[in-house]
Amino acid sequence: MTVSLELNGPDASRDLIAAASPEHPSLLDPTHRMDALFGVVNIPNVIWIDETGMIVRPPEPGWPDDRMALPDDMLAAIPELGSAPTAPTPPAEGPGQWDVLGSGQARVGYADAIRDWVRNGADSEFALGPDEVVARSQPRSPDASAGAAHFELANALWREGERAEAIAHFNECHRLQPDNWTYKRQAWSLLGRERVGGKYGQFVQAPLKGEESDWPFASDFTSDVLATELGGYYPKTL
Amino acid sequence: MLVDRLDIGPDEFAAGTGWDIKPEGACKGEVCVPLPSGDFDLEAITARLGMAIVADESGGRWAIGPESLGDRALATAETPELVLDDVEGTEFRLSSLRGQKVVIVSWAPY
């Protein structure tokens, strides 16, 4: 089953779902219920559930194979970007963006782990017991709960056209739950989708070069990735 | 969950949060959290479950955040109900897949 975490209505996901021609349920999650109910904090995140309805692996990064390639025309469509004026300063000798994005969870072998569980069920070395599932689920403090509440208000206000109020709640959400990348990427993508548009505008998640002062969010994608240690963006769990 | 008033009842609370109010307390799966005796008290229950309540200052609306029991996102390994639409607007319930192994992949077009 796949779930698209996107507040911009069905059309934002429709073409990608059609291209995949899924034979499984392919659903839309405009209010990010997956974050609140399961602790999803990034995409892709994968959850395993057994026949009795018990979670045997909580949300974790996972891929069908080791591909990291972007579409040929994507990078050319992304304009030169700046940084949010209040974004963290990247460490002088820190890893690069692609180093961080490619670190942590191994992409090779994840699908094989699923196949092992399908064959062996609870005897699979990858199936976790209930206590370990809970213990391995994402940390959630009272602040993180407040962050989720701010996100829900921001989401509703944005869809109602109350942009200034929505952005204030997005920023408070990001401050209270800084490790939730879907809350951040969702918000940043809204402006890229509007300001750049086209097939890839939603991937512009930072201010355009020269327009930094017009960026209302506290940070941006590249700045936050560069401030993340290796293995921190897609933590290794297998 | 979003609410337009804070005097909601236990049924509405359960529908929005997955926590049922029972004689033994607030329950989700096999986990039950004892509650103070007396009538349903949203403020007391959300405080007990570690749920934040945030007001929309522009109007009469509040958001209730998810529980933060034990400082983990999951209070139990029992799968909560998830009801979402597909791209054509047809409702789908995760519980309809009971009896099969399920892998849920969260993705986004950004």
Instruction: Quote the number of domains for chain B.
Output: 1
Q: What is the pTM of this model?
A: 0.96
Alpha-helix residue ranges (DSSP H) falling in A137-215: 142-159, 163-176, 181-195
Place B59 in a pLDDT band, splitting at 50, 70 and 90.
confident
Q: Which residue of A has its CA nearest to B57?
A: A165
Write down the pLDDT at residue A70: 87
Residue A19 has pLDDT above 80, yes or no: yes
What are the Cα distances from residue B72, in Å, to A66, A139, A142, B54, B75?
A: 30, 4, 10, 20, 7
Write down the pLDDT at residue B58: 87
Q: Percent of chain B having pLDDT more than 70?
A: 100
Other C-beta atoms lying within 10 Å of the C-beta of residue A21? 7
Spans of all domains in chain A: 64-124+139-226
Tell me which of B101 and B57 has the higher pLDDT. Answer: B101
Q: Do B74 and A55 touch (CB under 8 A)?
A: yes
Partner residue opposite B73 with nearest CB, options A49, A140, A146: A140
Write down the pLDDT at residue A68: 77
Mean pLDDT confidence for A114-124: 98
Mean pLDDT confidence for B26-34: 95
Distance from CA of B13 to the nearest CA of A (A): 14
Mean pLDDT confidence for A133-139: 97
For residue range A139-179, what is the model confidence (pLDDT) as tens digits? Answer: 999 999 999 999 999 999 999 999 999 999 999 999 999 99
For residue range A29-74, what is the model confidence (pLDDT) as tens digits? Answer: 999 999 999 999 999 999 999 999 999 999 999 999 988 788 999 9
* Contact residues on chain A for B63, CB-CB shorter than 8 A: 148-150, 152-153
Eight-state DSSP code of residue A88: P
Rounded CA-CA distance A182/A6 in Å is 9
Residue A107: both structure tokens together: 């992409």
Rounded CA-CA distance A60/A165 in Å is 32
Q: With respect to residue B99, please indicate whether it lies within any of the assigned structural domains.
A: no
Three-state SS letters, B2-63: EECCCCCCHHHHHHHHCCEEECCEEEECCEEECCCCCCCCHHHHHHHHCCCEEEECCCCEEE
Distance from CA of B40 to the nearest CA of A (A): 21
At A7 the three-state DSSP class reads coil
Range of the domain at B38: 2-72
Write down the pLDDT at residue B48: 97
Q: Do B73 and A138 touch (CB under 8 A)?
A: yes
At A93 the three-state DSSP class reads coil
**With contact defined as beta carbons under 8 Å apart, do A81 and A221 qualify?**
no
Residue A82 has pLDDT above 90, yes or no: yes
Residue B2 has pLDDT above 80, yes or no: yes
* Contact residues on chain B for A182, CB-CB shorter than 8 A: 106, 108
**Maximum Cα–Cα distance across chain B:** 47
Average pLDDT, chain A: 96
Partner residue opposite A43 with nearest CB, options B52, B89, B107: B107
Mean pLDDT confidence for B33-53: 95
Q: With respect to residue B102, please indicate whether it lies within any of the assigned structural domains.
A: no
Q: Which of A105, A114, A93, A94 is nearest to A44 (CA)?
A: A105
Q: With respect to residue B86, please indicate whether it lies within any of the assigned structural domains.
A: no
Place A79 in a pLDDT band, splitting at 50, 70 and 90.
very high
In this structure, are strands B61-64 and A2-4 parallel, antiparallel, or unpaired? unpaired
* Contact residues on chain B for A146, CB-CB shorter than 8 A: 52, 54, 65
